[in-house]
Structure 1
Amino acid sequence: MSDNERTGPAADDELSLPKATVQKLISEMMPGDIVCAKDTRDLLIDCCVEFIHLIASEANEICEKETKKTIAGEHVISALQTLGFEDYVEEVDEVYKEHKKQQKDRDKRSTRLENSGISEEELLRQQELLFEKSRLKFEAQNQ
């Protein structure tokens, strides 16, 4: 059975988006006096899942043509172009670049921590001391 042929409740749970998050996004996009029906929200979720599946499948094909084993952001951008979603490419590319920058920054912080020579236990002990100092200061201010 291929991925496209999955059926049953497990398949539904597997291929969905968080309803509360989607509802929040919808509410933020709609004017205050417009309400979105549950069926409409569910239809939007289905459309989003289908869109993601379409882009992911195309990106996978592009990846395989390049004899790569991991889909990269560039493959997703190529998939958008191939499928006629050129209008999204610029914004997706900007978000992708920002994501890569954040990853680099996160990796630098992680490396700095690893190179500090302080054990995780010692860091946790120091953190607890800082929390205790903060609690004492807060209590002193509120007396």
Structure 2
Amino acid sequence: MSDREGLSGAPGNDEDLSLPKATVAKMITELLPKDVVCAKETRDLVIECCVEFIHLISSEANEICEKESKKTIAPEHIISALKALGFDQFTSEVEDVLKDHKQQQKKRKSQSLNSRERLEEELLAEQERLFAESRARFQSGPQ
């Protein structure tokens, strides 16, 4: 990923990169004491800092990925990038979030399989009903 690529990996202008302002504003509001207000310029600066942080981590992770002759940045590359850039204090939290994410993915996959199995069972039951209906009509002879 070059210095001019966006968060999506596509070439672009850094000015095109941003985070949802409403989401960031909500996070800031939740983190600050109730009697403290955040100016719009401050919120915009926080967004710029976040985008720069993401850019820094993704660039480092990309370099690690390339050194391993990989074509896809994996979560492990992000964790290695955090360590390489001196953000070791974040790695345990990132690993916890990754673990939670993997568990949620397994749960969704399991739920998807269960619903697919139920649908298949329903379709088979409907098919059997239609076959039985057809057999009954055939056995009763011409009408």
Task: Give the counterpart of 1:17 among 16, 19, 26.
Answer: 19
1:80-124 CA distance string (max 9 Å, x none): 0011000101111111111111111111111222233157xxxxx
Task: Give the TM-score, by structure 2 length.
Answer: 0.73
Residue in 2 that maps onto 1:36: 38
Residue in 2 that maps onto 1:52: 54
Residue 3 of structure 1 and its aligned partner are, at CA, apart by: 1.5
Residue in 2 that maps onto 1:106: 108
Residue in 2 that maps onto 1:129: none
Distance 1:79 1:115 in 2: 41
Residue in 2 that maps onto 1:95: 97
Residue in 1 that maps onto 2:128: none
2:75 counterpart of 1:73: yes
Task: Give the counterpart of 1:27 among 5, 12, 29.
Answer: 29
Residue in 2 that maps onto 1:131: none
Distance 1:60 1:75 in 2: 8
Q: Which runs of 4+ in 1 moved over 3 A?
A: 4-7
Q: What is the number of equivalent residue pairs in this alignment?
A: 116
Amino acid at match of 1:3: R
- What CA RMSD, in Å, does the superposition of the two structures yield over aligned residues? 2.2
* The structure with more radius of gyration: 2
1:25-50 CA distance string (max 9 Å, x none): 11111111111110000000000000
Gaps of 5+ in 1: 120-143
Task: Give the TM-score, by structure 1 length.
Answer: 0.73
Amino acid at match of 1:28: E
Residue 6 of structure 1 and its aligned partner are, at CA, apart by: 4.5
Amino acid at match of 1:51: F
Amino acid at match of 2:35: D
Distance 2:100 2:12 in 1: 35
Gaps of 5+ in 2: 6-10, 124-143
